[in-house]
Structure 1
């Protein structure tokens, strides 16, 4: 796997969809140079929501998370690029929009912790990107292709 082959999971949450932010959010990742390899507009059912947030099962806010993520459609995506999980997290900002810098997605579009517009795989949680991709997408839904600008995005690797 070359340095620009990491894949990461991103989801525009129901608040982001309802506020019409899907296009803006997709544009940000595209403009950065990340490559969209899968996308699915969907309604999450309770089972998938509980599995997705499984690590928080014992926390008091678990039911609220599940309730919210199933409250309306979401846009689930897989993005690919150099160090994609960390790059995407940096663009998304902190979990709490109030602590997110302007210029980040949450810093620009969010005010409230419970309505933070977007979910992205955690770069500090080893393997969370693969686990979440597998939860939402089958292998045949991930499209492998070359984007025409890739030679301008990455320095050539020494072989």
Structure 2
């Protein structure tokens, strides 16, 4: 059995509803914190997209208010998490997914989720550098 820990950035005002979806799907929240990202942090975190046309809008959205950052654990956590989130573009997301229900636009799409265990490891280290992540 493998346990992966994808990272989530949650949009403001729907945190409890989104947490409930993860826990109802069998995922455990093993680390969580609220932060207000600086422009530098947002640019570093999304640096892979720096040459894309949406980069500036994405960074602006991510620094517009506090975000909840969490690490999830569970069997098949990354795939399960990505199913719960839905398509990046909320207009293309299936009904009942987080993005279909809570996202405003493709830039303000409510959540971010790791796409692979290697990415998750880098993202967890970025936001939880002291590795204060606890198995439950």
TM range (shorter): over 0.9
Report if aligned partners of 1:8, 1:78 keep a CA contact under 8 Å in 2: yes
**What is the aligned counterpart of 1:30 among 23, 30, 40?**
23
Whether 1:62 aligns to 2:55 is yes
* Whole-Å separation in 1 of the counterparts to 2:100 and 2:82: 12
Q: Deviations over 1:123-142 (max 9, x none)?
A: 4xx61111111110134420
What is the aligned length? 136
Structure 1 unmatched ranges of 5 or more: 146-159
Greater Rg by CA: 1
Pairwise mapping of residues 41-80 of structure 1 onto structure 2 (< 5 A)? 41-80=34-73
Q: Which SS does the other structure have where 1:98 is aligned?
A: coil
Aligned-pair CA distance for 1:105 = 0.5
Residue aligning to 1:40: 33
The separation in 2 between residues aligned to 1:132 and 1:65, in whole angstroms, is 17
Residue 130 (structure 1) aligns with: 121
Could you give the per-residue CA deviations for residues 89-140 of structure 1, whole angstroms, max 9, x where no partner exists? 01100000010001111112234212211111124xx611111111101344
1:55-108 deviations in whole A, cap 9, x for unaligned?
Answer: 111122212111110111000000001111111001100000010001111112
Unaligned residue ranges in structure 2 (runs of 5+): none
